[in-house]
Amino acid sequence: MASLITCPHCGQRPKEEFTIKGDASLTRPAPDAGPDVWYDYVYLRSNPKGLHKEYWHHSSGCRRWLIVERDTVTHKVHSVTDAALTKLGGAA
């Protein structure tokens, strides 16, 4: 993990304040994308050994969903951004 996550809004906070959802590289398909695409989205995971983008929620803090880029072998956190701001193309 990380013992600490630097929330772009709240600063460095302990892991216990966060809820982890998982793979943030997935994009929710269009409703009519077809069963294979939906199966892939809901159930299949790249599960990389190395860099992994994932959703962390600052549940006991600002309650923002963050995209944490983290190494699954070293547990080093490379970046943390606000998911919504990132998706909207803004800075975070």
Interface ranges with another protein (CB under 8 A): 1-4, 12, 14-16, 19-24, 28-29, 31, 33, 35-36, 38-47, 49, 52, 54-55, 57, 59, 63-65, 70, 72-77, 83-85, 87-88
CB-nearer residue toward another protein: 28 or 91: 28
- Burial of 32-71, coded b for 16+ CB within 10 Å and e otherwise, reads eeeeeeeeeeeeeeeeeeeebbbbbbbeebeebbbbbbbe
Query: Smallest gap, in angstroms, from Cβ of residue 56 to another protein?
Result: 8
